[in-house]
A and B are shown apart, each in its own frame.
Chain A
Amino acid sequence: MSEDYRDYVAARMTSLRRTAYLLCGDWHLADDLVSTALLKLLRHWRRVSAMEDPDSYMRRVLLRCLLDERRRPWRREVSWDRLPESPRTDTGVPAVERAEIVAALAKLPPRRRAVLVLRYFCDLSVEQTAIELDCTPGTVKSQTARALQTLRDILGASSEGMTSHG
């Protein structure tokens, strides 16, 4: 059991962390969310590993962890118990733009942010997104439209060419 679990987590750790980061906008909190989700996955690994799409389960757990985390009162505090991130290599996307998009996402309500992350980062369809967020496809579409409009308003000129493919 342990080896299967390790292999699964090793293959998806980066993707889970990046998804969590887009959802919460903070790498440290993203690691906390992923740790909590991995613990829940470990406790139910036998059942989850038999599922057709364990990734879907992990995304749902991650979203629930995020929503639970944001309800807690200590979310108002900021912890600096770890060193700031190390310098990064050039990714082809200017650092200013990276910061802008993350900041713009942070201004969206959690569920709209989740809609955008699931659809444009995890590449889920409208229907799959609706299942993971436990809502209707129509809700996903409307939330997507409003979220995109908000992003355009926030990013202003830099989003002139922003398009979606969903």
Chain B
Amino acid sequence: MDDLSAMLRGATDNPPPTGIDLDRLIQGERRRQTRRAAAAGALLTVVTVVAGVAWVARPPDRPAPTPVTPVASTPAPCPHPTNGMGGAARTPRPLRPLPEGHDTAARRLTAALTPLLPDGAHPRAGSGCDRVEFWWNRQAATYQTTAWLGAGKAEVSLVILVKAAESSDATPHCLASDGPSCTRTDLGGDRIAMSDLNPHTGGTYQRSVTVYRPDDTLVSAVVIGRPAALPTVARLTAIAGSADLTLYP
């Protein structure tokens, strides 16, 4: 024995039959992979079911989380007469497609309107809501909200309507009529205010100001009440002309 290599090879010559079963080894590994895949699938199913249950169990009408520009806060929505309910909807045909969903736009408009409202503006008593909030009116294809000002005989309702400009809006017009009370005012910056004052019922009057704006958004501020209590055209124009009340942020 004069060589270590020869010694080592001689020591391992003619080994006993092996007990290694390659087929069984491969099959066992396949079974393991199958079990792992099944376990992963089961886990995914559980996660999906839990997520689905959580989604279904979320508060009603709560908007789904969407990657949108965050608004300051997202309080619980107020009940509205046609928000998300039945009724024939008018299909809007805006000059430009709206970049946001209705819920998102309504939340943003609500946040923008709050600082514009006159002091003491509040939602209708018994409305079940604690704030003046925009909602999507499907029948009119308009975002709208109603606030109330004053009390007693000086009580005035204030309705704000926000809609996307359509081809039919190319010519500015007053909300109720184009009669003698309709007044056109150029506000500068390609903005036009159309205002009118018309008798309503029971000695009340309706004053409206509609601002046609270059951002393809029409905003109308409409008040109904006794003439002495109605906000001025300038006050309504300031609200309707606010750049924050836009549908194309």
Contacts and interface: CB of A to CB of B under 8 A. Distances in A.
Interface of A: 2, 5-6, 9-10, 13-14, 17-18, 21-22, 27-28, 31, 34-35, 38-39, 42-43, 82, 85-86, 88-89, 91-93, 97-98, 101-102, 116-117, 120-121, 123, 148, 151, 158-159, 161-165
A2 B18 CA distance: 20
Interface string B1-32: 11111111111111111111010011001000
Contact of A164 (B4, B10, B12, B16): B4
Given A35-B25, A93-B1, 18 more contacts: A14-B15, A18-B9, A18-B12, A31-B19, A34-B20, A42-B29, A82-B19, A86-B17, A98-B11, A101-B7, A101-B8, A121-B9, A123-B5, A148-B4, A151-B4, A162-B2, A163-B4, A164-B4
Nearest to A5: B26
A86 B16 contact: yes
A17 B18 contact: yes
B201 to A, nearest CB: 82
Contacts of B13: 88, 91-93, 98
Given A35-B20, A39-B29, A161-B2, A22 B14 contact: no
B1 A27 contact: no
Given A92-B10, A102-B11, A163-B4, A6 B16 contact: no
B17 A165 contact: no
In the A-B complex, the 9 residue pairs with the closest CB atoms? A93-B10, A18-B12, A91-B13, A161-B2, A85-B16, A121-B8, A98-B11, A88-B14, A120-B4
A93 B7 contact: yes
A6 B15 CA distance: 20
Interface centre among A14, A27, A91, A93 (most CB of B within 10 A): A93
Contact of B11 (A6, A101, A161): A101
Interface in B43-94: none
A162 B1 contact: yes
Contacts of A9: 22
26 contacts: A5-B26, A13-B20, A17-B18, A18-B15, A21-B12, A34-B18, A38-B22, A38-B25, A39-B25, A39-B29, A42-B25, A42-B29, A89-B14, A91-B10, A91-B13, A93-B1, A93-B7, A97-B11, A98-B11, A102-B11, A120-B4, A121-B5, A158-B1, A161-B1, A162-B4, A165-B3
Nearest to A21: B12
Contacts of A102: 11
A2 B11 contact: no
A153 B126 CA distance: 104
Contact of A97 (B2, B7, B22, B29): B7
Contacts of A43: 29
B24 to A, nearest CB: 10
Most buried by B among A14, A101, A102, A151: A101
